Amino acid sequence: MARLKKEISTIKINKNMLRERAERLPVITDEMYEEICDDNKIIMNEYFEVNSQLSKQSQTQYKSAMRIFFWWIRVKCNNTPLYDIKKMQFIKYRSYLINHGLASNSLGLKKSAISSLCNFIENIYCEENIKYRDFKNFTRGLPTIAKNIVYDKIKISKDEYDEIMKVLEEHKDYMGMAWVATAFNVGGRRGEIRQFKTEMLDYTHHINSKKEEQNYVFSHIVRGKGKSIDGKPLKFMINDEAIKYMKLWVGKRGYESDYIFTTRYGSINQISLDWADGLCTNKLSIILERRINPHLFKASCITYLLEEGKDIKTISKYVAHHDSIETTMIYDLRSDENERDGIF
């Protein structure tokens, strides 16, 4: 295994790619946005004024998607106002994105943004503006977007977890150890883990209905992924392994904060969403010499619980916090070798 002290230039990272990643779509600058048809800018602004309950992340993603779409309309459709856009034009736009090589998740997001805008017009705005009285939702009835995968997801093994923790400890990266132990054992997303409060370290173990002490504590309520400002309220099961390394980090950092995962550059702040990406890219991928990203920890956590024979319904509800088992199954990275060997 590589060590962080090695020169990065000497380390070859296995990216486990199944196909080449698409180049980023052109950034729609403010100058470019000003060239977009006024009617289209107005309807976009109206949409976000009415949909003020969208989370900041959803607002950012939807605004970017709409700007890309309206710029394409500006270039390819003579800046046609939205109320005159036809289904064929939107199909051509989707084909443009597909031909650009975008992953299906990115395609789905961009389609959802325009579909949400069309639903707003159809359900609300068409009654307020005569231009949209005959508007038809051109995003309906289209062929589904075929799923594609850029990276082969390979779970982080127990040996790899141990190796990561060993190297981070060598480098006295105690917050990195705490984050890895939490992500690997708890299964939270990066945006959820950053919300964990120091008060959790004083929580007592959960006592079940049989008065038996368990080896985990429940977290405080955390904002989970969701389009609304409040998102989805979640309570995580934090096991002793994660608590151990959280306590180690908090004991070493030398300052007080309401939050466990923090940085101090002049002032003390929660880690950003990008912090976990940087940890994975600049440290963990180098240690394991293969591509590691924050989301892989959630999938690994779920996979190990399934391998231990835990019920997928229970995991889906209490660990993955998914609304359906089908979503949890996407995170199942178990090898199918045993099933395959028994076919013939």
Three-class SS of residue 222?
strand
Question: Do the beta carbons of residue 166 and residue 2 sit within 8 Å?
Answer: no
Rg (CA), the chain: 24
Pairing of strands 237-239, 232-234: unpaired
What's the first-to-final CA gap in the chain, in angstroms? 38
Element (H, E) at 339: helix 337-341
- Concatenating the DSSP letter of every residue in 243-280 gives HHHHHHHHHHH-S--SBSSEEEESEEEEPPHHHHHHHI
Give the Cα separation of 188 and 238 in Å (integer): 10
Give the Cα separation of 103 and 147 in Å (integer): 8
Question: Do the beta carbons of residue 185 and residue 193 sit within 8 Å?
Answer: no
Three-class SS of residue 219?
coil
Measure Cα distances from 316 to 223, 302, 325 in Å: 17, 8, 6
Residue numbers annotated as active site: 189, 225, 295, 321, 331
Residues 6+ apart with CB under 8 A from 203: 217, 218
- Concatenating the DSSP letter of every residue in 69-83 gives HHHHHHHHSTT--GG
Beta strands in the chain (DSSP E): 216-218, 222-224, 232-234, 237-239, 262-265, 267-270
